[in-house]
Structures are given as structure tokens and as C-alpha cells.
Amino acid sequence: MIIVRTIMTALPEKQKEVLQTLLSLIEPPEKEKGCLSYAIFSDIEDTNVFNLFSEWETRQHLDQHMKSDRFGVLLGTKCLLSEPLQIKIATVAAFEGMEAVCSVRKKGLIDPAVRPAQNTST
């Protein structure tokens, strides 16, 4: 799996325009071959900073995306930014979940859906 993080810092007077452009690029993942997810986040401390995350099945799928017109629109926002666009591409070999946290903290994983048996004897 490939995970891409794109960091964009909009000029304050262009923040809404950047956001509108980003929202126009969001499509359901199934519309683009190999795209598993696509999400936009706004920084809670600086509303001019946006983080765009996408997950791809393979590097080939990501490469096709980077050749697309949609990606070209993203690159075209550079005149709306106060800093150069930052793109970070990570190849992920494996995932871990809460079991890793519990293992490190030496605690059992408690499933909130499973309740202890109640004593029904009186």
C-alpha cells in the first residue's frame, strides 16, 4: 500500500479558493482505479494549512493518478500557496492495531461489546 500526504499552506486571502479546489477534486475512491481512500484535513491551529491524504493499492496506481488532469489541478494551486507544495509518499509493508498498543502496555484488549457474565444467583 502507498500512502501520500500532501501539505498545502494557502495564502490567507486564498484559503477559501484552495479549499473549494480541494473539495472539487474529492471523488469516491472507487471512481479512480487503485484509490482506497482520499481525505482532506484542515490544521486546527492554522486554517490556511491543509493536509490531503490518499491511499493507493500500488505505486503504479499512484503513478497513473499523478499523470491525471485531477492531479494537474492540484499542482496548479501553487499560485494560491504561501509555501511550496509538499508531497510525502510512503510505502507501507504492514499494519498493526490496538493489539500492538496493548502488547506494549501489557494490558489485555477489552472488547466493549463483550460484557462480563452477571451473577444471577440470589
Amino acid 108: pLDDT: 59
Q: Is the dihedral of CA 53, 46, 22, 8 positive or negative?
A: negative
pLDDT at 122: 47
CATH number of the domain that residue 80 is part of? 3.30.70.100
The total of structural domains in the chain comes to 1
Is position 121 within any domain?
no
Low pLDDT (below 70) residues in the chain: 28-30, 107-122
Instruction: Specify the pLDDT at position 104.
Output: 86
Predicted confidence (pLDDT) per residue in 6-19, tens digit: 999 999 999 999 99
- 41 lies in a domain? yes
Give this prediction's pTM: 0.76
Q: How far apart are CA 48 and CA 41, in angstroms?
A: 11
User: Could you tell me if residue 90 is left (phi over 0), alpha (psi between -120 and 50 degrees) or otherwise beta?
Assistant: beta
In a domain, 29, yes or no: yes
Give residue 53's domain range: 2-96
Answer whether residue 40 is part of any domain. yes
**Residue 112 falls within a domain, yes or no?**
no
Per-residue confidence (pLDDT) for residue 58, from 0 to 100: 95
Q: Is residue 103 part of a domain?
A: no
- Which DSSP state fits 78? G
Tell me, what's the pLDDT at 106?
A: 78
